[in-house]
Structure 1
């Protein structure tokens, strides 16, 4: 069996920036087993690989795998998949049906792609001293937990602190925890952005996700409430960097950005 595959840099307009994802186009959702999907994701080695198969006109089933496990929702792999489909000549809106039961509406707007993701909630939480030490964080402004993504959100006082973080991944990996990862965020000191963030998840994926969009389902409403704004500019200050516009609309967050296709090829199974 031969499978069309693509490597796409998402949440950027420049190659070698943003977050690289692999996209595999399948004839059917049953073309590959979960074991095969996980092995392919491990082979690519990116934070996520998306597996896309047609359901109806402009409607597709999508699954996301990190090198370690299946992920219920991934923003940059969704953006990468939409970029591939639009570049292949798909016109009109695209609907993705995730394996976890979500429906994602995708719209092409000029040079950007807009994705509608469901909002999710936060609850006040705490984080272990061990994890904070592993992240090299000494002071925390606030701490919350998001159940849908199984992620702890930590706010620090300044975006400069955020950009200087240099986690001890060996220490983090040695800590037994049930969470998928820790999202660290701060109000941006740069005029062009409203807030910045980084995402560390050595327990469920790669050490650091270069740019992640799915977290906006709880991060965007968090900052919307704090800043009193419904439209914001978010910046992920990882080594590769990435940015997006987020807008709160009823029970959805609209995430707008672009992506660049780096390569396309064929997998033989």
Structure 2
């Protein structure tokens, strides 16, 4: 099985978010895919299988579980398909039968993702203490993603957060992660964010695209414009442009392939 490692949401090797892309000829059982994802250890491993023409089935596994949607692994998969074929568009379908339309645009890849709503939530003090957050501006919850959103006032404080992950995972049950965001102090970007998800994946996701299903609408509403530049201030860092179009969000990103190999039977 051909396997690739791709750094997503960056144009530099060893930056952005690494994803594994496994190209399968037949459907693999869940246990095998989970074992492979756990063995690789990246925040996500994508398994893609061609159905017909430019249509592909795509599934995502963290080292712990299957998740329905992943931005950087979709970007990584698109990068590999575009490099291996003459296709200019790709239609992925995920485990929930959601269609993800992908388009090549020069050096960038444009992904069309759904938009999910958020609602108000009171975040327990234990969560804030574990994150090292003293004061919040707004707190929301994405029921579809099961992710808590916390806005704070300063992007430098956001970059400096050092969560206690043992306390964090014990502070709340039934969620996939906590996203902390702030308006950018850098004129090149509109907002910064970090995503912590020890409940479902790794402690911190280096660069996260799937959260734009609700984060882009959140900031488009807050800032009054639909096209936004985002910076994920993790250790590896990552950048992307997003565009809010009411019923969908476009995510623009680049990716770099760093490894090619194969799993043995």
Q: Which TM-score band (shorter chain)?
A: over 0.9
1:261 corresponds in structure 2 to 257
Residue 187 of structure 1, aligned match among 183, 188, 192: 183
Contact 1:58 1:90 in 2 (8 A): no
1:74 to 57, 70, 76: 70
Count of residues paired in the alignment:
265
**Does residue 19 of structure 1 match 2:48?**
no
Return 5+ residue gaps in structure 1 as ranges: none
TM-score, length-scaled by structure 1: 0.97
Please say if residues 127 and 172 of structure 2, whose CA atoms lie closer than 8 Å, have aligned partners that are also in contact: no
Alignment of 1:39-118 (within 5 A): 39-118=35-114
What RMSD in Å do the two structures reach over aligned CA positions? Answer: 0.9
Structure 2: 5+ residue runs without aligned partners?
Answer: none
- Structure 1 contact 151–179 (Cα < 8 Å) conserved: yes
Identify which of 105, 120, 123 aligns with 1:124: 120
1:30-45 matches, cutoff 5 A: 30=27, 32-45=28-41
* Partner residue, 2:209: 213
Is the contact between residue 155 and residue 192 of structure 2 (CA under 8 Å) also seen in structure 1? yes
Please give the per-residue CA displacement for 1:170-209, whole angstroms capped at 9, x wherever unaligned.
2223345110000000000000000000000001100000
User: Distance between the aligned counterparts of 2:69 and 2:18, measured in 1?
Assistant: 16
- Equivalent residue of 1:214, what SS? coil
1:6-49 CA-to-partner distances (Å, cap 9, x unmatched) read 00000000000000000000012x2x110111111100101000
2: CA distance between counterparts of 1:230 and 1:170?
37
Secondary structure at the counterpart of residue 131 of structure 1: helix
**Residue matched to 1:157:** 153
Secondary structure in 1 aligned to 2:78? helix
Whole-Å separation in 1 of the counterparts to 2:172 and 2:194: 21
Change in Cα spacing, 1:191 to 1:176, as seen in structure 2 (3 Å) is closer
Residue of structure 1 equivalent to 2:237: 241
Structure 1 Cα separation of the partners of residues 79 and 106 of structure 2:
12
Q: Which runs of 4+ in 1 moved over 2 A?
A: 173-176
TM-score (normalised: structure 2) = 0.98
Task: Give the corresponding residue for 1:232.
Answer: 228
Offset of residue 100 of structure 1: 1.4
From 3, 6, 16, the counterpart of 1:5: 3
Q: For each residue in 1:78-108, what CA deviation from the matched residue of structure 2 results, as whole angstroms up to 9, or x when unmatched?
A: 0000000011123221000001121000000
Rounded Cα–Cα distance in structure 2 between residues aligned with 1:178 and 1:101: 23
Residues 148, 178 of structure 2: 8 Å contact kept:
yes
